[in-house]
């Protein structure tokens, strides 16, 4: 494997430390805007190849009979994409927290709107938590739906739309988010693009030197 | 407040293709560009310094307040898309002459304004006119729908609404494969109206068409939803029956024959009655689609030979 995309043990430890601090800040901000107790856990940080990624996705959706997924890109000094996988959602309760009205009339569009709204808040919190710690600037693009209430099969086709990805490696930060008050759970998969791993390593080494 | 506005270059204010506005932490408007003036019909003088909800009471307050607060707390960016929410501000469409849509579709972005020390000052909002895209998407949806309709109709017989011969030929191969994969039975019925040529000659082709349509109705009512009824040609019909119990085939055939016998086609003062003949067979190992059709046809021929108005199983 190309050494430029590899994180050595020291770098990986520093990265996990950065993530933990970042998630602490993200959690505090999210519980302020969502007005409730939130939990953010980071069970996995790892460098992945495409096949492993598909495996990670399949594992993430395996327990559900129906899934919702959205995605959001980030750009600037580090770039990549965030994939959200939602367990079945109590839309009324989530909608109330987000200030939505007329929740009895839940069309597919309204459900998507809610999912994209919470996706955006989650990616804002998690990403800026990270980028601030690393001293790297990042900007978010608008979120998009991947699928709404679909069977959890053909996950590769859903995510890649039948196209063959043009990269070999990606750095995955897997975040588990939950709000127990409204039984809301989601998995946030942050994928750092291959060409952003080196800038990330450099930022980590700057931190390590200080 | 004035000094915040002064920080923005004049050109942002003069942009007429994208709406740019900003609110401070108390949600008072502190920036209002040319686009916003044109489409809201409110001059900057009229809105600056005023609360956004008092200027635009139609805005969804609960939701937007929450969104603006989120952007300020997370110090981030947020969005709305015309796909889910057609618009933020209710502006007239920009196509008053050629367009059929009355209000402007919008994509909006919200991002935090911080001063040099990182202190949050408010939220900037951009408003993009997405009407052209929305119209194009609407046309695309319409074309997709029409294509689906055409695709469905290319498989159907125009007169009876049953599947046509081309569809039958394709489907019979698929059903054979399915039956083999899942190891279930597959039966094929061929049915022919007795003396149909005489009906056409005596009562005319229009009446013949009525007979065919009525018979198609009867067949679809009698068979199961999973059975595939096709107009095989002229007055010949084929029914593909997956997962069928061999023992019930005589009962089904009887029901079809008596259903057709009880048909009453009015012609002037007369009532036309008719009968039909059936031949059927089952899929066995080693058979190809042609074998199935040939065997059912042979059985049908025997029904005709032995007096019509009856069914025969291939032996």
User: The domain that contains B99 carries what CATH number?
Assistant: 3.30.450.20
Interface membership of B75 toward A (CB under 8 Å): yes
d(CA B129, CA B110): 15
Are B81 and B203 part of one and the same domain?
A: no
pLDDT digits (tens, 9 = 90+) for B109-146: 999 999 989 899 999 999 999 998 998 998 999 999 99
Q: Same domain for B179 and B56?
A: no
**Same domain? B202 vs B125:** no
Among the listed residues B21, B97, B16, the one whose alpha carbon sits nearest the alpha carbon of residue B4:
B21
pLDDT band (50, 70, 90) for residue B7: low
> Domain boundary at B91, B110, B138, which?
B138
**What pLDDT shows up at residue B18?**
94
What distance, in Å, lies between the first and last C-alpha atoms of chain A? 29
Q: Is B69 an 8 Å CB contact of chain A?
A: yes
Q: pLDDT (tens digit, 9 = 90+) per residue, A7-52? A: 899 999 999 999 999 999 999 999 999 988 999 999 889 999 988 8
What is the per-residue pLDDT across B233-277, written as a single tens digit (0 to 9) for each? 999 999 999 999 989 999 999 999 999 999 999 998 899 999 999
pLDDT score of A140: 94
Q: Name the interface residues of A facing B (CB cutoff 8 Å).
A: 29-30, 32-33, 98-101, 109-110, 112-113, 116-117, 120-121, 124-125, 128, 139-140, 142-143
Largest CA distance in chain A: 56
Provide the pLDDT for residue A1. Answer: 57
Residue located via tokens 């008050």: A181
Residues of A in contact with B60 (CB under 8 A): 101
Same domain, B115 and B25: yes
A33 to B69: CB separation less than 8 angstroms, yes or no = yes
- B128 to chain A, any CB pair closer than 8 A? The answer is no
φ, ψ (nearest 5 deg) of residue A41 = -120, 145
B79 with B184, same domain?
no
Query: So what's the pLDDT on residue B72?
Result: 95
Contact A33 B73 (CB under 8 A): yes
B123 and B162 fall within a common domain: no
In contact, A156 and A146? CB cutoff 8 Å: no
**Burial bucket for residue B190 (CB in 10 Å: 0-12, 13-18, 19+):** buried
Give the residue, B5 or B55, on which the prediction is more confident. B55
Assess B73–A contact: CB distance below 8 Å, yes or no.
Answer: yes
The residue out of B112, B138, B164 marking a domain boundary is: B138
Q: Which of A98, A112, A140 sits opposite B66 (nearest CB)?
A: A98
Q: Which of A101, A109, A139 sits opposite B84 (nearest CB)?
A: A109
Would the CB atoms of A33 and B79 count as touching at under 8 Å? no
Q: Are residues B81 and B177 in the same domain?
A: no
> What is the reported pLDDT for B1?
47
In this prediction, the answer to ipTM > 0.90 reads: no
The CATH number assigned to the domain holding B226 equals 3.30.70.270
Whether B37 and B119 share a structural domain = yes
Interface test with B, best of A98, A124, A127, A146 (most B CBs within 10 A): A124
pLDDT in tens, A45-85: 999 998 888 899 999 898 888 999 999 999 999 999 999 99
| B114 at A interface, C-beta within 8 A | no
pLDDT at B3 over 80: no
**B235, B236, B284, B298: the active-site residue:** B235
Average pLDDT score over chain B: 92
Residues B59 and B120 in one domain: yes
Residues facing A72 on adjacent strands: A82
Structural domain contains residue B143: no
Of A33, A101, A139, the CB nearest to B74: A33
Task: List CB contacts (< 8 A) between A112 and chain B.
Answer: 83-84
- Which of A71, A117, A123 is best to mutate for the B interface (most B CBs within 10 A)? A117
Chain B partners within 8 Å of A100 (Cβ): 62-63
Q: What is the dotted CATH code of the domain comprising A3-209?
A: 3.40.1550.10
Please indicate, yes or no, whether residues B242 and B302 belong to a single structural domain of this protein: yes
Known catalytic residue: B235? Answer: yes
Residue B222 pLDDT more than 60? yes
Q: Is B63 on the interface with A (CB under 8 A)?
A: yes
Tallying the residues shown for chain B, one arrives at 315
- What percentage of chain B has pLDDT greater than the value 90? 80
Q: Is the same domain home to B226 and B188?
A: yes
Please report the pLDDT score of residue A102 as a whole number: 83
Starting from the edge strand earliest in sequence, which strands make up the sheet with B228-233, in order? B228-233, B236-242, B186-193, B276-282, B311-313
* pLDDT given for residue B6 in this prediction: 58
B294 has a chain A CB within 8 A of its CB: no
Kindly state whether residue B11 falls inside one of the protein's structural domains. Answer: yes
Q: How far is CA B226 from CA B110, B186, B240, in A?
A: 53, 12, 9
At A94 the pLDDT is: 92
* B294, B298, B300, B306: CA torsion to nearest 10: 180
Neighbour-count burial of A163, counting CB atoms closer than 10 A to its CB (0-12 exposed, 13-18 middle, 19+ buried): exposed
CB contact under 8 A, B78 and A110: no
pLDDT for the residue numbered A210 = 77
pLDDT tens track for A113-149? 999 999 999 999 999 888 988 999 999 999 999 999 9
Count structural domains, chain B: 2
Q: Which of A3-7, B40-44, B213-217 has the lowest mean pLDDT?
A: A3-7
Residue ending a domain, among B103, B138, B173, is: B138
Q: Which domain holds residue B268?
A: 155-313
Q: Is residue B150 part of a domain?
A: no
């Amino acid at each position: 494997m190309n050494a430029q995309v590899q994180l050595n043990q020291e770098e990986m430890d520093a990265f996990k430390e950065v993530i933990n601090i970042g998630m602490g800040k993200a959690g505090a901000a999210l519980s302020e805007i969502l007005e409730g107790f939130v939990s953010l856990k980071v069970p996995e940080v790892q460098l992945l190849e495409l096949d492993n990624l598909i495996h990670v996705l399949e594992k993430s959706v395996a327990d559900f009979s129906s899934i919702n997924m959205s995605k959001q890109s980030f750009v600037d000094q580090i770039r990549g994409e965030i994939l959200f996988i939602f367990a079945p959602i109590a839309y009324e309760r989530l909608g109330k927290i987000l200030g939505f009205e007329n929740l009895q009339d839940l069309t597919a569009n309204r459900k998507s709107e809610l999912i994209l709204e919470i996706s955006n808040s989650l990616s804002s919190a998690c990403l800026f938590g990270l980028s601030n710690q690393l001293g790297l600037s990042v900007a978010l693009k608008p979120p998009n739906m991947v699928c709404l209430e679909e069977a959890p099969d053909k996950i590769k086709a859903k995510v890649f739309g039948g196209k063959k990805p043009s990269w070999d490696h990606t750095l995955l930060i897997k975040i588990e988010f939950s709000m127990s008050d409204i039984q809301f759970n989601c998995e946030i998969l942050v994928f750092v693009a291959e060409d952003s791993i080196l800038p990330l390593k450099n930022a980590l080494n700057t931190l390590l030197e200080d | 407040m004035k000094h915040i506005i002064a920080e923005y270059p004049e050109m942002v204010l003069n942009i007429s293709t994208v709406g740019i506005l900003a609110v401070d932490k108390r949600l008072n408007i502190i920036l209002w560009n040319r686009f916003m003036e044109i489409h809201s019909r409110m001059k900057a003088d009229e809105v600056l310094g005023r609360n956004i909800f008092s200027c635009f009471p139609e805005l969804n307050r609960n939701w937007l307040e929450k969104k603006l607060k989120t952007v300020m707390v997370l110090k981030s960016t947020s969005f709305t898309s015309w796909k889910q929410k057609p618009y933020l501000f209710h502006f007239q469409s920009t196509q008053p002459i050629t367009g059929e849509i009355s209000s402007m579709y919008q994509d909006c972005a919200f991002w935090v304004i911080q001063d040099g020390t990182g202190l949050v000052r408010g939220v900037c909002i951009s408003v993009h006119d997405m009407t052209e895209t929305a119209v194009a998407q609407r046309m695309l949806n319409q074309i997709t729908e029409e294509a689906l309709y055409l695709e469905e109709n290319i498989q159907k017989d125009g007169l009876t609404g049953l599947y046509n011969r081309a569809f039958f030929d394709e489907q019979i191969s698929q059903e054979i494969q399915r039956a083999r994969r899942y190891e279930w039975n597959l039966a094929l019925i061929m049915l022919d109206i007795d003396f149909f040529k005489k009906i056409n000659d005596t009562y005319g082709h229009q009446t013949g068409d009525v007979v065919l349509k009525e018979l198609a109705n009867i067949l679809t009512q009698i068979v199961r939803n999973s059975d595939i009824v096709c107009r095989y040609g002229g007055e010949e019909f084929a029914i593909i029956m997956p997962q069928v119990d061999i023992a019930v085939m005589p009962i089904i055939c009887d029901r079809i024959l008596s259903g057709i016998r009880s048909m009453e086609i009015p012609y002037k003062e007369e009532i036309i009655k008719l009968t039909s003949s059936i031949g059927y067979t089952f899929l066995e190992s080693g058979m190809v689609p042609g074998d199935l059709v040939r065997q059912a046809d042979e059985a049908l021929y025997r029904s005709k030979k032995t007096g019509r108005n009856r069914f025969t199983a291939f032996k």
